[in-house]
Chain A
Amino acid sequence: GENVEQHPSTLSVQEGDSAVIKCTYSDSASNYFPWYKQELGKGPQLIIDIRSNVGEKKDQRIAVTLNKTAKHFSLHITETQPEDSAVYFCAAKTDSWGKFQFGAGTQVVVTP
């Protein structure tokens, strides 16, 4: 089955700096890669996603890149702010119905 690895597990950045989280997947048939942000006591919230026919997608301060050949995708957050502090999860869609394999998560801490 699909295996998604996520790095790093924790990331501490100064406010205003950039943060990058990387994920690799194993199943070349995976075709959809969402990123979720989870704040304490809340459910994961979709922040950006990318489909396998696209190499890069940007939404304001966040962007996702996908390298299908290498089977990895990354989340980039620019000009980080304290409210970006949360756990971020990557995922890969593994079937036609909506089954995802999630990464283990990255705890991002943005210090003022």
Chain B
Amino acid sequence: DAGVIQSPRHEVTEMGQEVTLRCKPISGHNSLFWYRQTMMRGLELLIYFNNNVPIDDSGMPEDRFSAKMPNASFSTLKIQPSEPRDSAVYFCASTNDRGYGYTFGSGTRLTVV
């Protein structure tokens, strides 16, 4: 099993640009979670999906953030326009058992300059 695959691993972009982060969950997993990690705020849940349907997006910080899951094997997190305070590591995680035993991806380190 290849695990949860995230791309890109690193992204450097200028303020105001659109950023799209991608995630491929483990095959057969039906729940997918997007987290953001910073030194100041730790691990924050942004949004999660079950069977491709968004369940809770209350952690999405602003309207600049949006997430989609068009099918069971792909999800995107988009930031438009990006700001320097969005700089963080973004993780995707998946599970097949309603939250028990998450598997995290390796993350995308986003730097907005």
Contacts and interface: CB of A to CB of B under 8 A. Distances in A.
B91 A46 contact: no
Nearest to B104: A43
A97 B42 contact: no
SS class, residues of chain B in contact with chain A: strand
A96 B98 contact: yes
B49 to A, nearest CB: 10
Contact of B99 (A41, A89, A97): A97
A98 B102 contact: yes
Interface size band for B: 20 to 34
B55 A97 contact: yes
Interface size band for A: 20 to 34
A89 B93 CA distance: 15
23 contacts: A32-B99, A34-B102, A36-B104, A42-B107, A43-B4, A43-B93, A43-B106, A44-B43, A44-B91, A46-B103, A93-B100, A95-B99, A96-B98, A97-B50, A97-B56, A98-B31, A98-B33, A98-B95, A98-B98, A100-B45, A102-B42, A102-B43, A105-B42
Given A43-B93, A98-B98, A98-B100, 6 more contacts: A42-B106, A43-B105, A44-B91, A44-B104, A46-B101, A97-B56
